[in-house]
Chain A
Amino acid sequence: TQLLEQSPQFLSIQEGENLTVYCNSSSVFSSLQWYRQEPGEGPVLLVTVVTGGEVKKLKRLTFQFGDARKDSSLHITAAQPGDTGLYLCAGVASGAGSYQLTFGKGTKLSVIP
C-alpha cells in the first residue's frame, strides 16, 4: 500500500503556465516535505510544513499542508524550464513509532520553452 499518493504522475506544460501537483494519504502526518530531484542528482529539499493549514511560499512556488495533515499541494506560477524535474513529497506518519521519512513516487514535470 502506497502511503503517499502523488498526482499527476507526469505533467508536461508550456513555459508561463500555472500548475498544481498533489500529495494525498489516508494517514495523518506530523510533518511533510517537498523535494525536487533532477536527473542524475539526489533530491533537494524545497520546504517543510508541520502545521495543518500551513501555507509557505518560495518565490513562484506555493506549498499548502491540509487542515487534517493528510494531504499537501504544490502550486507553481508561471512555470519556467528550470522548474523541470521530479517533485517528491515525503512525510513522517504520526504515531508510527519511528521518524522514518516515507516518500511518494513523485510527479515528473517537464516545462517546454
Chain B
Amino acid sequence: EAGVAQSPRYKIIEKRQSVAFWCNPISGHATLYWYQQILGQGPKLLIQFQNNGVVDDSQLPKDRFSAERLKGVDSTLKIQPAKLEDSAVYLCASSLVKGQGKETQYFGPGTRLLVL
C-alpha cells in the first residue's frame, strides 16, 4: 500500500515570497491533516479536513496560510507571504476514519521549508 506522498521535499525561499506544498493521502482515507513541526518541537496541527470540508483550522494563521482539498483527495497548503518564522517541516497525514484522537494517522515524509 502506497504511503502519504508529499512534494516538494525541500524548498528554500526568501521572506515575503509565496510557496505551496502538495499532499496525496493514502487511497480511501477520508481525513487529511496538515501539521507544522518547528525544529526541536513536536508537530502542531494547522488544519484538518474530512473529505473536502474543514473540520478544524483553529491554529492556522489565516492571514498568510491557506489550504484546500477540493475533490476530497489531494490537498495543497499555501503560504503567502512567507515569514522567517515559517521555517519548519510541513507534515501531511491521513487517516481512514474521522479524527477523534484514537485513530491511526499515517504521516508523509514532510516538506522542509527554509525562509531566508
CB distance from B26 to the nearest CB of A (A): 12
CB within 8 Å: A-B pair count: 60
Whether a CB of chain B sits under 8 angstroms from the CB of A21 is no
Whether A100 contacts B56 in the complex (CB less than 8 A), given A42-B110, A92-B100, comes out as yes
Contact indicator A50/B102 (Cβ below 8 Å): yes
B39-65 vs A: 1/0 string, CB under 8 Å? 011111100100000001011000000
Q: Are B101 and A99 in contact (CB under 8 A)?
A: yes
Residue among A31, A48, A99 with most chain B CB within 10 A: A99
Q: Contact check: which of B40, B100, B106, B107 meets A99 at CB < 8 Å? A: B100
Number of interface residues of A (CB under 8 A): 24
Give complex CA distance A90, B58 in Å: 18
Give the contacting residue for A30; candidates B4, B43, B101; CB below 8 A: B101
| Chain B at the A interface: SS class | loop
**A103 lies within 8 A of B105 (CB):** no
Q: Is the CB of A100 within 8 A of B102?
A: no
Interface residue count for B (Cβ, 8 Å)?
24
Given A100-B45, A103-B42, A105-B42: A45 and B109 within 8 A (CB)?
Answer: no
Residues of A within 8 A of B93 (CB): 42
B110 cross-chain contacts in A, Cβ below 8 A: 40-42
Q: Assess the B99–A99 pair: CB atoms within 8 A.
A: yes
Interface residues, chain B, CB within 8 Å of chain A? Answer: 4, 40-45, 48, 56, 58-59, 91, 93, 99-102, 104-110
30 A-B residue pairings within 8 Å (CB atoms)? A4-B42, A30-B101, A31-B102, A33-B101, A40-B109, A41-B110, A42-B91, A42-B108, A42-B109, A43-B43, A43-B91, A43-B107, A45-B106, A48-B104, A50-B102, A91-B101, A92-B100, A98-B56, A98-B58, A99-B56, A99-B99, A99-B100, A99-B101, A100-B58, A100-B59, A103-B42, A104-B42, A105-B40, A105-B42, A106-B41
